[in-house]
Amino acid sequence: MATSVISEKAVASVFNGFWADTLPLLTASFVRVFNEAHCENLVDLPSSRFVRIPIAQEVALHDLVAEFAFCAAEVAHATGQSLAAISTDRAVVSEIYAKAILFLKRYESAEDEILLNAVEVEEAFRLVSQYQYFFDYLRLHHSDIEFRPKIRGAGFLGSCTADLCAGNTLYEVKAISRNLGGRDIRQLLIYLALRWAEDEPQWEYAGFFNPRRALHYRFSVEHLIYRTSGGKSKAEVFDQLLRFLDARGIELDTPF
């Protein structure tokens, strides 16, 4: 029987039996402690330029705002253009918007029509500034920052695009108001496992960046897996995950 190709977000959100067997200690209480222990509030740094950016009352399409900001940060990093130059160039703004729409897929608009209102666009560019502050904070060479690193799929999981590679660290960007959840950590581990199967340099560290709340998480991949798996090695857990993805005839625990 043929198996469908599904997304990494779906794999991270379902298959509860597999995840409970593979990472039995990745519980709600562990995630709560993880949020407290590994979270760095960037606003509190000495001479910090970071700010918290709560969702404005006029902002309805907050997911589109976040994706627009990510695409704009990607353009700024690739071209070296200032935010002022990008934000005032209608053609560039339209290209960024089209890319955000293409990624999210749930939004449609007529040619030259941007669904975002003026407040949403302004908020998006405030979020872009947070990316620039974050890259300055990391103190890496420009070439060490890579947006959307490509990762080959495995089994019934198609090829993936992660968010940010920063040197030896893979970051997932979460422009969210809530704390991190277990599914966020599982999604990041999926990327790491798929990369482990490739003949490519490995990420020894992983983390999250929340430009909206100015929060930064960074941790050792080996240590996180050891803690959540009950003492297994990274190789053991990644091998278990890859074998699971290659299996056939798997039934979902819950519907999509």
* Residue 252 in domain: no
Residues 164, 81 share a domain? no
Residues 179, 131 share a domain? no
Secondary structure class of 219 (helix, strand, coil): strand
Q: Is 230 left (phi over 0), alpha (psi -120 to 50) or beta?
A: left
* Residue 155 in domain: yes
Domain interval for residue 132? 46-141
Who contacts 55 (Cβ-Cβ below 8 Å, separation ≥6)? 62, 123, 177, 212
Assigned token pair, 127: 């979020």
Residue 238: what pLDDT?
97
Can you list the alpha helix ranges (DSSP code H) found in 139-233?
Answer: 182-196, 221-229
Residue 229: what pLDDT?
98
Residue 256: what pLDDT?
41
Best CA proximity match to 164, nearest among 149, 184, 181, 142 = 149
Residues 242, 150 share a domain? yes
Of 104, 123, 141, which marks where a domain is finished? Answer: 141
Residue 2: what pLDDT?
43
Q: What predicted TM-score, i.e. pTM, was given to this entire model?
A: 0.92
d(CA 141, CA 144): 5
Assigned token pair, 162: 């992660």
d(CA 100, CA 105): 8
Backbone angles phi, psi at 144, to 5 degrees: -85, -5
Residue 1: what pLDDT?
37
Residues 157, 38 share a domain? yes
Of 141, 171, 200, which marks where a domain is finished? Answer: 141
d(CA 229, CA 223): 10
d(CA 183, CA 187): 6
Residues 123, 105 share a domain? yes
* Residue 255 in domain: no
Residues 101, 75 share a domain? yes
Residues 50, 89 share a domain? yes
Residues 134, 50 share a domain? yes
Residue holding tokens 């409970």? 20
Tally the domains of the chain.
2
* Residue 157 in domain: yes
Residue 15: what pLDDT?
93
Residues 61, 36 share a domain? no
Q: How many CA atoms lie within 13 A of 120 on its CB side?
A: 17
* Residue 2 in domain: no
Residue 211: what pLDDT?
98
Residue 7: what pLDDT?
87
d(CA 11, CA 158): 11
Residue 104: what pLDDT?
84
Residue 180: what pLDDT?
96
Residues in the chain with pLDDT < 70? 1-5, 109-112, 248-256
Residues 239, 168 share a domain? yes
Of 141, 157, 184, which marks where a domain is finished? Answer: 141
* Residue 78 in domain: yes
Residue 109: what pLDDT?
67
- What sign does the dihedral 154-158-161-162 (CA atoms) show? negative
> What SS3 string covers 63-96?
HHHHHHHHHHHHHHHHHCCCHHHHHCCHHHHHHH
* Residue 251 in domain: no
Residues 235, 120 share a domain? no
Residues 155, 32 share a domain? yes
